[in-house]
Amino acid sequence: MTRRLQTIKRKMLADREVRGAYEALGDEFDLAQELIAARALD
């Protein structure tokens, strides 16, 4: 991740509402990442 993106992410996640939404979607993002990785193996 680029330094600029890390800065933006850190600032956005400082907001409790944004962090809550981000964490609520964690399982979906984990699943998507696993599916993408599995497809890359084919």
One digit per residue, the tens of pLDDT, for the chain of length 42 reads 688 999 999 999 999 999 999 999 999 999 999 999 999 886
* pLDDT for the residue numbered 42: 66
Instruction: Kindly give the interhelix angle for 3-13 and 16-24, rounded to the nearest 10 degrees.
Output: 110
* pLDDT for the residue numbered 4: 94
* pLDDT for the residue numbered 1: 66
Q: For residue 15, how many other CB atoms are within 10 A of its CB?
A: 11
Quick check: 18 and 12 in contact, CB under 8 A?
yes
Quote the CA–CA distance of 42 and 21 in Å, as a whole number. 33
Number of folded domains in the chain? 1
- Domain of 27, in residue numbers: 3-41
